[in-house]
Structure 1
Amino acid sequence: MTLLIIIIILAFAFDFINGFHDAANSIATIVSTKVLTPLQAVLWAAFFNFMAYLIFELHVADSIAKIVRTDAISLEVIFAGLCAAIIWNLLTWWLGIPSSSSHTLVGGFAGAAVAHAGFAVVNSAPIIKIIAFIFLAPVLGMVISYFLSVILLHLSKNGHPNKLDKQFKGFQLISSALFSLGHGGNDAQKVMGIIAAALMVFYKGVDPSVVPHWAQIQLVGGKIHHIPIWVSLGCYTAIAAGTLSGGWRIVKTMGSKITKITPFEGVAAETAGALLLFGTEKFGIPVSTTHTITGAIMGVGLTKRISAVRWGITRSLLWAWVLTIPVSGALAALFYWILKLAHFAM
């Protein structure tokens, strides 16, 4: 029971870190366009991160819980995966690299599981979808935001520039709220899936009738239908609290280094990102909010000219994205082997 409690605490800690690591995704454009101050922006984003609790079903949580076979792993596997994910997240935050918290968690979970029981323990279907969306999420975000920008440009071509700027500053409050909802619904659920997996592992082989109410995971048709309310509330609260603490290093990268953002472009990028997050959540695809909004920012930059996007920055981001899963997996495997050696030494 002690290790289960430690895992739950670490999971909430990861969600908190995810909040301030990915705060930039929700607020970078609205801060860079000066629609809100940094403090106002994090309060706004944190509120809608939490409100996602009332909107989304558990599709993403179910996908994350099924990355590996819970009947073939141990709590030590989940512990090692979380430790690796937390370290990689803190390192990339410190360096100001907007890497994916989602892929960090997936890589850590899968890497520790492989170290424990080999590649057969990993369910290939969800992993393939997640890896595919490393590339698809930014591309789709870019395409959606590009065409959305073109449509908005056409609709507002006869408007007065100053009036339009004020209108789009108002619209950006809505678009950033929608993106924050998508961020909360997608990212908080990933940790919910990890805690669900830990509970299923801990009570593996136990008669469901004797599992305490606070630990019951309800499955319908093989999919997670219900998670204890303390798990859901804890995860949404942790990610909202993390967002409140900010993530100014990554805000600078996301808000100014990729391309210069105006209120009009902020609306297009955030709306495109929100549409993609809502759509992928519906199908249970755990995508990276970092990849999504980065692609969307690139898309609005392309409406001006190709050179408006600072491709040197995006290339360095791409390397971080590609390396996140394997590096997190290797770190988690190392943690697991250290735990195993320590156990044998005792």
Structure 2
Amino acid sequence: MTRSARLLILLAAVLLLGTVGTGAVIYAANRSGERDQEQAGGPPVRTGTVSLRPGSGDGRELLVRNLAWGPHRDEIAAVPADRPDGPRTVSGVKCLRFHAAAGTGICLQAVHGALEDTYRAVVLDSHLRELHRYPAAGIPTRARVSPSGHMVAWTVFVSGDSYAGTNFSTRTAIVDTRTWAIDDNLETYSVTKDGRPYRASDTNIWGVTFADDHRFYATLATGGHTYLVRGDSTSRTLTTLHRNVECPSLSPDGTRIAYKKRVPGAPADAPWRLYVLDLRTMAETATAEKRDIDDQALWADNSTLVYSLPGDYGSDLWTVPADGTGTARRLMTSAVAPAYLAPDGATDPDSP
């Protein structure tokens, strides 16, 4: 055998060993990632079709932003509402904040740039395809869709990244998906506070929750206090109703508001507890959840609240009765931004 032939055989052997070694490393890394998720109790995740209009007869679905580690982190995922710990079907659509109703979704996304990130609000159709997009002025924090699917709203931090202190500024926008008309700053609305017209340079508005295609509720902050306000997008007005209400969430029957309330004696960096306000009597009820809540709770039905708390991989979803009874329990691990969807053509038994 010539010297050249021996060198060629040696080179081929080296290349073969390198290929095998690389494959082994990749396989081991993938298996390690799978084992890490299994050891952490991570949920099974699979790709598939996710719709904002589940097929008739399939039961309610729960959509969330999936926080399980892996290639599908941050994707919108679906599970049966009665089996929230079951396998998740991921959509391929990534959102930082998300909500959906009646076949319309709102997805707040980050756009990663070379120097800095920017953000956008994307309106999705029932197949999670983009219908329209708007630039967002800051870090996404809240998102909601009206019961009809005709109106969407979102809030971002223009400065700061937490509601706990006072050094932050928000921007809240509302869009009519029938015309794509946008109110890009609700601070331009006329405010009636305690029965009188009110104007101030320090107002912040966040956390819209819709009653219908015109009426909504939100938080207004001014003068060091927060207020529940009733809004009207037709008259472009905001009217204060109750003090010390943040991130309101309207019950399906339209009678109560779940919200974060700052309680005396709580730590400055963990000031909130979860309460429910009766809109007829303005009576407050503390829920059985005693931990700090920094979320806009969602009503799973007319008697149950769902909200996020810090978890091993970002956030877990928890649930508690809205009437102050019972105890809080974990609903899902590694998930945030829930939305409940009824089957196409079905009527939710707890809707008004």
TM-score per shorter chain, which class?
Answer: under 0.3
TM-score computed with the length of structure 2 as normaliser: 0.22
Higher-strand-fraction structure: 2
Higher-helix-fraction structure: 1
Q: Which has the larger radius of gyration?
A: 2
TM-score computed with the length of structure 1 as normaliser: 0.22
